[in-house]
Amino acid sequence: MIKDYLHKEILDNSSEMEAVRSGYGEGVLEAARADKNIVVISADLTESTRVEEFSKEFPERFFQVGVAEQNMAGIAAGLGISGKVPFIASYAVFSPGRNWEQIRTTIAYNNSNVKIAGHHAGIMTGPDGATHQAIEDIATMRVMPNMKVIVPCDAEEAKKAAIASAKIYGPVYLRLCREKTAVITTPKTPFIPGKAEVFWDSSESKKRKAKRPQVCFVSAGPIIINALLAAKELEKEEIGSVVLNVHTIKPLDEKKIIEEAKKCGSIVSVEEHNIIGGLGSAVAELLAKECPVPMEFIGMRDCFGESGDPDLLIEKYGMSVKEIVKSAKKAIKRKS
């Protein structure tokens, strides 16, 4: 059963749609009104990264570097070790893509208080094509010491994540998606960085035979809606499951993931990222040590994307509800 604190209508594909990046912009603005040390740097993508409102309300706290992501990272590092809380935003392929080493040395190793927002992450960036679809950023950020990684699943969660990250001292990476996607969470949905939240729990199902969870979906980002829809499909077939929203990929909520792995006995990771190095890998690293269970991975299968309608791309690259259901059954079968 889907949790009460979510918008239940998402399961009927009739939910409100909003871009995750818009929630981010609102969150930064709200955080900035409360903390005068918050500053924003833009690399010629002010409107697209949704910080235009900030630039109008706080012009003296807004800096434009032009198309220069490396400089953006370095300036942010300097600001962050001088008492400011800089938010830097660009498309994820450019930041933290192009400026990876600047982020490593000047932000992460310096332990500077910088928040890095990678917009247009994942294949749902769509028509722009593979050059602009970051599918490596979770991997390249989570391997960096001192860095925290948060992947909000919708605009509401992105807003909470932006506000929360401003209060965490040190480098944080926020992975954001371009397209308008379903608003899954509500203001009531809990969001605590580092704490995974259950979005679907079959033990609360009205169907007696579908109560026992046999598989746990670990997911993050807007693609989690496909995991929820897969859980609903499985319920029809009297297969119980849990959907865990692992919005914080680093630090990982190890306790909760181990608990669900033990309870369900199999895991399917669902993410819009290369299956190498992303959330699935992080969970596999943990479970291999603590609680090895059969695991399947939904994500980009180590290939680049292409131009196209986001929904069609999700289907073509094996992240559809149908594929997720198939993987779940495979994982369950491997238990015996």
Partner 1 sequence: MNQFLTDERVAFIEDKAREIRIEIINMLAQAKSGHSAGPLGMADIFAAFYFHILNHDPKNPSWEERDRLILSNGHICPVRYAAMALSGFFPVSELNTLRKINSRLQGHPHRESLPGVETTSGPLGTGLSQAIGMALSAKMDDKKWRTYCFMSDGEHDEGNTWEAIAFAGKYRLRNLTALIDRNNIQIDGHTEDVMPLEPLSEKYIDFGWHVLEIDGHNIEEIVAAVNEAKAIYEKPTVIIAHTIPGRGVSFMENNHLWHGKPPNEEEAKMAIAEIKRTEKKKK
The site for partner 1 (CB under 8 A) is made up of 39, 60-61, 63, 65-66, 68, 70-71, 73-84, 86, 101-102, 105-106, 109-111
DSSP code per residue over 58-81? -GGGEEE--S-HHHHHHHHHHHHT
Least distance to partner 1, CB of residue 65, Å: 6
Least distance to partner 1, CB of residue 106, Å: 5
CA nearest to 37, candidates 89, 80, 90: 80
Least distance to partner 1, CB of residue 160, Å: 27
d(CA 226, CA 229): 5
Question: Residue 29 or residue 38: which is nearer to partner 1 going by CB?
Answer: 38
Local structure of 51: helix, strand or coil: coil
Which residues on neighbouring strands pair with residue 233, listed in sequence order? none
Question: Residue 70 or residue 219: which is nearer to partner 1 going by CB?
Answer: 70
- Give the other-Cβ count within 10 Å of 297's Cβ: 22
Least distance to partner 1, CB of residue 84, Å: 5
**DSSP 8-state symbol, 64:** E
Least distance to partner 1, CB of residue 41, Å: 9
Least distance to partner 1, CB of residue 76, Å: 6
Question: Residue 95 or residue 189: which is nearer to partner 1 going by CB?
Answer: 95
Phi, psi of 121 (to 5 degrees): -85, 150
Local structure of 102: helix, strand or coil: helix
**Tokens matching residue 295:** 């695991």
- Give the other-Cβ count within 10 Å of 245's Cβ: 31
Question: Residue 148 or residue 273: which is nearer to partner 1 going by CB?
Answer: 148
Specify whether the CB–CB gap between 134 and 122 falls below 8 A. Answer: yes
Question: Residue 110 or residue 307: which is nearer to partner 1 going by CB?
Answer: 110
Least distance to partner 1, CB of residue 66, Å: 7
Question: Residue 28 or residue 68: which is nearer to partner 1 going by CB?
Answer: 68
d(CA 130, CA 244): 28
**Tokens matching residue 15:** 């939910």
Cis (ω within 30 of 0) for the bond into 251? Answer: yes
Question: Residue 108 or residue 176: which is nearer to partner 1 going by CB?
Answer: 108
- Give the other-Cβ count within 10 Å of 63's Cβ: 17
d(CA 284, CA 296): 10
Question: Residue 64 or residue 186: which is nearer to partner 1 going by CB?
Answer: 64
Least distance to partner 1, CB of residue 325, Å: 47
